[in-house]
Structure 1
């Protein structure tokens, strides 16, 4: 697989040269018009690659586009599939479908990380799998058209993994759920999050969740968001029967 990356980053590459692995093309389900879009979608910023004209080469622009296209396709699917539900329901379901956690799972199932020219000394975002999936969608849209992209999203994401009845019960954010519950019950909820160092000299965030001046739960994580989500999840299970 490394050979196709060597040819991609060569300044003397030919546009007609086939460089994408067959396994990747099988996932796409079609032969690309221009493989450069897909090779770009597999290039994280951390690799510090450049195009022959000196421009930075990474997937971020395609990820931005893919995020918008994916949101549009999912919105259309929900509008058609849930004709009796209001805008609030549709928004909530879309958020669950395109959540970072869910997209990371899809990217993991497709094994997209196997296709990047990985180097052990680079740091990749913990959301890299979801980013690669969105960039892939962006590349499909640019290379093909909206209908092909829509068919891909339905085949890869919606048809095998989306069941609206099951999705309604799925909790994406325990923090949002606890905040919504506290507002409904008119109770004051406070998340007190601080940084602390552990024995390995790594920064860890510790979050304490309080309700009405009563300590409820604590969570630790490598980001403020993660720590608060863990604290909220523990609080949720403590209050589960009351919610």
Structure 2
């Protein structure tokens, strides 16, 4: 049972004396004014909870809002801290900071999944649940306390501990994009051959062969086509790294 379920089975007034209120206050750094926003931020659609007027109550709309708030705050930070960066540079840097991989790490660091109320077992969630919940929490903060407090939280939990512009400049967020860009620049012919594969335990996997100039450069398998292509691209990058890193 998640902490969320334990809390709400014990108390009908979590905004006043519940463990959930105290836990959220510790995470965000200030007291919530309307705890219901945060309750919704951790409610999975599998609960099938509806409002009085029949609208679904779950974190998905808050996730959308939180994504927008993150982008806005990070964009403002980069605009101030990288005055020489053009639009393309700023966009690329923002993408690195708010990448799905990074958001998943943020959600894990805060152990947000412990609060999720769901009929789906936690071990059945995909990796992205951590980032989704982090975004929904940001959305809840915005609805509860407005942009100023939302910015304060993002600065504390994202910018200060993780945003190092010089380090991020060298971070690769998509090896596939890097490989494709290099192949196009060098006028090399590339092709991803994708086939479905079955592991010994019966799990559905996808295999990928990445060929450059009609030569197989890398192979990979993963649980999705996208992941398999990215893994093969990463291996191809390491094979051609000295050439790709040339300015």
Matched, 1:188 2:189: yes
Query: How much has 1:118 moved relative to structure 2?
Result: 5.6
Query: How much has 1:119 moved relative to structure 2?
Result: 5.4
Structure 2 contact 43–118 (Cα < 8 Å) conserved: no
**Residue 83 of structure 1 aligns with which residue?**
83
Query: How much has 1:172 moved relative to structure 2?
Result: 1.1
Unaligned 5+ runs, structure 2:
none
Query: How much has 1:35 moved relative to structure 2?
Result: 0.6
Compared with structure 1, are the counterparts of its residues 157 and 121 closer, same or farther at alpha carbon in structure 2 (3 Å cutoff)?
A: closer
Give the number of aligned pairs: 238
Structure 2 contact 51–57 (Cα < 8 Å) conserved: no
Matched, 1:3 2:11: no
**Residue 100 of structure 1 aligns with which residue?**
100
**Residue 25 of structure 1 aligns with which residue?**
25
Query: How much has 1:136 moved relative to structure 2?
Result: 0.4
Matched, 1:232 2:233: yes
Q: Secondary structure at the match of 2:240?
A: helix
Query: How much has 1:7 moved relative to structure 2?
Result: 5.9
Query: How much has 1:149 moved relative to structure 2?
Result: 0.3
Compared with structure 1, are the counterparts of its residues 121 and 102 closer, same or farther at alpha carbon in structure 2 (3 Å cutoff)?
A: closer
Structure 1 contact 18–35 (Cα < 8 Å) conserved: no
Structure 1 contact 48–56 (Cα < 8 Å) conserved: no
Query: How much has 1:5 moved relative to structure 2?
Result: 2.9
Unaligned 5+ runs, structure 1:
none
* Structure-to-structure mapping, 1:18-97, within 5 angstroms: 18-19=17-18, 20-45=20-45, 47-51=46-50, 53=52, 54-97=54-97
Structural RMSD (CA): 1.9
Q: Secondary structure at the match of 1:216?
A: strand
Compared with structure 1, are the counterparts of its residues 69 and 83 closer, same or farther at alpha carbon in structure 2 (3 Å cutoff)?
A: same
Structure 1 contact 37–143 (Cα < 8 Å) conserved: yes
**Residue 156 of structure 1 aligns with which residue?**
157
Structure 1 contact 99–172 (Cα < 8 Å) conserved: yes
Query: How much has 1:155 moved relative to structure 2?
Result: 0.6
Query: How much has 1:31 moved relative to structure 2?
Result: 1.1
**Residue 109 of structure 2 aligns with which residue?**
109
Query: How much has 1:145 moved relative to structure 2?
Result: 0.6
Query: How much has 1:22 moved relative to structure 2?
Result: 2.0
- Cα deviations across residues 128-165 of structure 1 (Å, max 9, x unaligned)? 00001000000000001101101110010001111000
TM-score by length of 1: 0.91
Query: How much has 1:6 moved relative to structure 2?
Result: 2.6
Structure 2 contact 21–32 (Cα < 8 Å) conserved: no
